[in-house]
Structure formats: C-alpha cells, structure tokens
Homo-oligomer: A and B are copies of this chain.
Amino acid sequence: MLTSAQRDCFDVVLVSPRNPLNIGAVARAMANFGFTRLSVVAAYEPHWREARSAVGAPELLANARECPSVAEAVAKSTLVLGTGTVTFRKPDQPVVPLPRLAPLVEAELARGGRIAILFGSEKHGLSRDDLSYCHALVEIPTDPRQPSMNLGQAAAVCLYELAQLRTMLAAAGPAPTGSAVDSADLERLASLIEETMLAAHYSPASMQETNRHDLRVLLRRLHLAPLDSRRIFGLFRRILHRLAEKSSR
C-alpha cells in the first residue's frame, strides 16, 4: 500500500463533466484504485449536485474540490497529464501511450512532484486551452474504428495503470523529497512574459491569444528546474521594469 502522503500526490480533475452517472463512475474507479483527491472544473451545477447526492457515492465525492478554472485546479501540480484521443488533431504536447506512462510519473514522484490527470467533458473532451496547461497527453490505445471511450471507463483504465505503478513505488519505499516548478509558478511566469511582450509591443493585439497559448505550451516543454524558473522570472521582471521606466520618461 501507498502511504496517504504518496496517494496525496495525485489529483484527478474533471473538466466540465455533464452526466452525473459518469461523475459517479469516475469517483467509484478512484475509490477502487485508492485515489482520493478529486477536483471538478466548471461543473454544471444540477448534475454535479445529483452526482454528489447519489446513493452509495464514495466519500471522496463529498470532499471534491470545485474550481472555476483549469489553471486553479492544477496550480499545485508539477506534472499535468491530459487524456483523450488525438485522432483528429495534431497536439502541441508530447503524446505518451498509457502503457508507457510509468517512467514519466515515477520520475515526477521521485523528485517530490505532484501529478494531475485531466479528463474532458463527455462530448468534446479537453479543449485546446485545457491542453495548454498539460505537460503531456496520455493516450489509451484503442481501435481506430471506435477510439472514443466512455468517461468512467477511460478513468478506470488510467487509474488501473497508475495503481500498478503505485505498487512499484510502495515496494521501493517512500519517494524522496525534492522540488519542482508547479503550474501556478509557470502561470505567474507566463503572465510576466506576456506583460513584457505587450510592453515591448512584441506583436499586434490580435496575436495576443495565440501568443499566450504558445507561451504556455513552450514553458511546459522546457521542464524548468525551480532555479531556472526563478532566474527567468527575475530577468523578465527587470526587463519589464526597464520598459516601464522608458515609456514613462
């Protein structure tokens, strides 16, 4: 068994879930595989209420965290994993087949990180904006003729695979503590760089949305160490300060 501290390193995040039965199914799979931390982003209130009050709903559903945005839900996470099929679009993030996810997650736990796994809505999956908060995309290998999985079943399969890893970790003893850059730090850095870009008139206003997205994806691709992150932050603060001085003269 994993210690509760180790189990605490995983957050399951449902983004805009619709069907109360599916929310309940995800919660049940979490209970089956020993995960306890559930966050729900932008839930449709009546369905969310229905799911929580269902007979036999696992306790973790009552303790679930409600978040207004993906950014907030993953703020403390150092490795954010998106799920979904990538048949019809080319993703900005590296795609990892679920059966080969173990090394990535083990390395993250070993350096004391926190892992979030995101599931999109039943109808549309994760949006491009949701995915911009992800370091990698986890793909469940499915038949190309029927790639789209039910939310509760996709969650069960992912958590089953993560639970295997759990056993290995437990056998190896508790993870050593370390440090990593969490999503909130990355967001602060992205905001500062964006502000700098604007102050420097880097590109027309119409490009602002696209630049923000690309910047978010880029920062996650870099796998910054905390020291590097702080250095870059310091540098841009300095630049921004200079730019502000210059424009006020």
Residues of A within 8 A of B (CB): 21, 25, 28-29, 31-34, 58, 98-99, 140-143, 145-150, 152-154, 156-157, 160, 163-164, 167
Contacts and interface: CB of A to CB of B under 8 A. Distances in A.
A147 B32 CA distance: 6
A230 B113 CA distance: 60
A37 to B, nearest CB: 14
B33 A143 contact: yes
A25 B153 contact: yes
User: Is chain A's binding surface mostly helix, strand, loop or mixed?
Assistant: helix
A164 B99 contact: yes
A34 B28 CA distance: 25
A33 B153 contact: no
A34 B143 contact: yes
B167 A141 contact: yes
B32 A143 contact: yes
A23 to B, nearest CB: 13
Nearest to A36: B143
A34 B163 CA distance: 24
A140 B31 CA distance: 13
Contacts of A32: 140, 142-143, 146-149, 153
A33 B142 contact: yes
Nearest to A148: B32
A234 to B, nearest CB: 45
Contact of A150 (B25, B146, B148): B25
A163 B146 contact: no
A106 to B, nearest CB: 16
Nearest to A140: B160
Contacts of A150: 25, 28-29, 152, 156
Q: Which residue, A98, A147, A150, has most C-beta atoms of chain B within 10 A?
A: A150
Given A32-B147, A34-B143, 10 more contacts: A28-B150, A29-B153, A31-B145, A32-B149, A33-B142, A99-B164, A141-B164, A149-B156, A157-B157, A160-B160
A182 B28 CA distance: 37
Nearest to A167: B141
9 contacts: A32-B142, A32-B153, A141-B163, A150-B152, A150-B156, A152-B152, A152-B153, A153-B156, A156-B156
